[in-house]
Structure 1
Amino acid sequence: MSEQPQSSQERPGELDEELQREIDEALGGHSLEELLEETARPLPEPPGRPSQRVRPGAIVRCRVVGIDRDAVLVELGGKDQGLVPLAQFEADPQVGELFQLEVVRYDAAEDLWVLSREGAVERATWDDLAEGAVVEAFVERANKGGLEVRFGGVQAFMPISQISLYRVEDPAEYVGQKLRCQVIEVDRRERRVIVSARALMELEAQQRREALLAELAEGDVRQGVVRQIMPYGVFVDLGGVDGLVHVSQMSYARVENPADLVQLGQTVEVQVLRIDPDTGRISLGMKQTQADPWETVEVKYPLGAVVTGRVTKLERFGAFVELEPGVEALIPISELSWTARPRHAGEVLQVGQTVQPLVLEIDLERRRIALSLKQAQANPWAGAAHKYPRQSEQSGRVTRAVDFGAFVELEPGVEGLVHISELSDQHVRRVEDVVQVGQTVRVRVLSVDEPNRRISLSMRGVLQGDSVAPAEETKPRKKRKRPLRGGLD
């Protein structure tokens, strides 16, 4: 949009009162635009000053000598002076500035030439116009197909696909603006001109890209603008060159959706991680410009400390726990519980659950922390040898039956093994012939290995509440004779 013209008091080269009266009398109460619209007819040369150079239709070089509210007073050379409408200038001219103007007609009564800038600009523009020329166009109107623009009196069209490097939803937003563009088609016979702002943007972007790539180095920290957001990361414009910030490089914290962290058009600070010399692709990182939370891990989460975290992911091998944004640790499945024997961490915990595990190990180089949920609780094996002395009789519940014996839970988290040879005074072929899972039995403690969490038990010679004895052996089935002839049994 053009700037608003200054008042006559503020504009340099303002006319004095006498000259102002002269111009007003010359215009005779009409605007200069109205005078230009009058039909030009052959007029005699100024009396006493014939000129072969200044005549209607000629393009002459003029110097600005004064500026009024509506008109600009210029010198044509020698003693010739003229007026040109101020509205025909895109910006206020300065006293002493030179312009190419078209002579419209001569006002003999006032001894002034009436001039026009638009005719001179249009003629000069059409004479010099060529494909590839760069012009500054004013957007006058918009339609579904694009923009109607004007530069130097030449009407041109800009297709909607040529307005920007990016998709344009509403071309009407550009009405009233000035766009630098490139002439991509000229048809003088049809007086048709096609221009493209995009072509110029691409050319300038390539020039900026080449210049930026020449000075860009890995490790540089730059400011950029988010241009595109994808599930795998965001593209950032560094000023003519786009680079990719992969989702894993956006933050030290886990990022599920890049759109949760940045917005289109947002200015971000990035570090150049890698430049591929063959493809020109640039890998960027955002988290590298932020404080690394792992630098203070050993201070915040010392070994043996009980910490608070949130369960973020459950796997067969354990549960991931976020201690703070960017710091995740693992509870191995064997460290989830003293009592349960889960096959999957989801049998014990839920995503989003808050837990208070104990820190087992920290590996700063590999950025790993091992936690234990069960060791943050009381150890049921502590003092087991004292609690279950040898040859003492105890009650327990059968939890598992395997080929070699039965496991008996003496208390939550403490199990002992009754070997198959210790199930009964009689010979036992199958464990299930003597005990069943869930059954309560009486056992005698044979030995306790507290460090290795093992207890050997026996049911031999121990009086049971309900008589426990091996089931009677079933007689072996007779072998079937060979089938009768004819296929009948």
Structure 2
Amino acid sequence: MEENKDTQHEPETAAPAAEEEMSMADLLKEGEAVSSKLYGRDIVEVTVVQVTADAVLVNIGEKKEGIIPLSDFQDKKPPEPGAVIQAVLEKKGGEGRPTILSHKRAHERVAWQECARAFTAKARLKGRVAAKVKGGYVVDVDGLRGFMPLSLSEIGGAHRHYLPDNAKVKFYITDFSAAEHKLIVSRRQVLEEDENARRGEVLAEIKTGEIIRAVVSKVVADGAFLRFQGIEGFVRLSDVSWRKPEEDLKTLKRGQRVKAKILSIDRETEKISFGLKHLMPNPVDTLKQRFAYRSIVTAKVVSVSPDGAKVTVGERVEGFLPAAEYGHEAVPAEGGQVKAAVIGVNAQDYTLTLSVRSVEAIEDRKRMAQYLKGAPTLTLGQILLESSEDEGENG
């Protein structure tokens, strides 16, 4: 019975041994694959065995070790034993000579491949400003050196350096050749792309009639340009102010902050029309509220022309008395006063339209009403009695 038990346990102890043999075989096969790629000058992944003062020892298969100079890791922390890193064959070893590998060259080759992919796919990449040079910047692209001209560094280009050293930047590759080690990048394209997206979001959110804060960017003869969240709009001269737009336009200065009303939005052309006068009461409405239709005012005659007389009502309100509305006294005298009725408001020059004739008609109606009110009222009997008396006298 004891012998049977031992016999039954033999398969269980044989299985781990088989697995160990397979693992060793796989390891040898993997080592051969690494060696094959390595000597074929391909990029391989190797395991770090030891780090010394001047080198990193790695396992390259075939029970051999390769050496990577520690200087390959000068821009980053050296790897630790057990780490897997990329490398490429630099110099094949021999009797008493170790195999030399390069992590830096492997990294550069991968970086060139990534740049080629990004260039073809028109994808963005990240890097940092390594140095300022004449006409642009040297940009570090994952260990590679690219050039960014000043004209491609800012929106609209730049005439001098604005970016500090080690500034992180995003860019597109505009010209590329791994064989010639050519790498030209453009930050401007990224900035313009982001700016267009941002402008689209702003235009989608704002609405006609909305009150916003903007900055005067330029004043011209027929209006003013306002900049709102990076989008430039225009205020026509007629929308600067109600009364004296030419004079009020001169008070606007570049860089001045103003409130404005959005009058119209063209999202396709990204144009906005602004209004400044719309934040103030319309003088027409103000005059209509202050001077009701057919209300009586006393006006001072300023000047007289064949068309009529210019007058003032109080200190700041101007009016016009058409010749057809003079009344019985005909042409009023300059400097004199007239009593007139308000018959309208001129929306072009914001003046009252007055009429003396209407006042006379109103007063005539009042006198007639007063006369009728003061006359004796006769009854039917009185009327009949007076009628019979008249007949008797005639008889």
Which category describes the TM-score, using the shorter chain as reference length?
Answer: 0.3 to 0.5
Q: TM-score, length-normalised on structure 2?
A: 0.46
Q: TM-score, length-normalised on structure 1?
A: 0.38
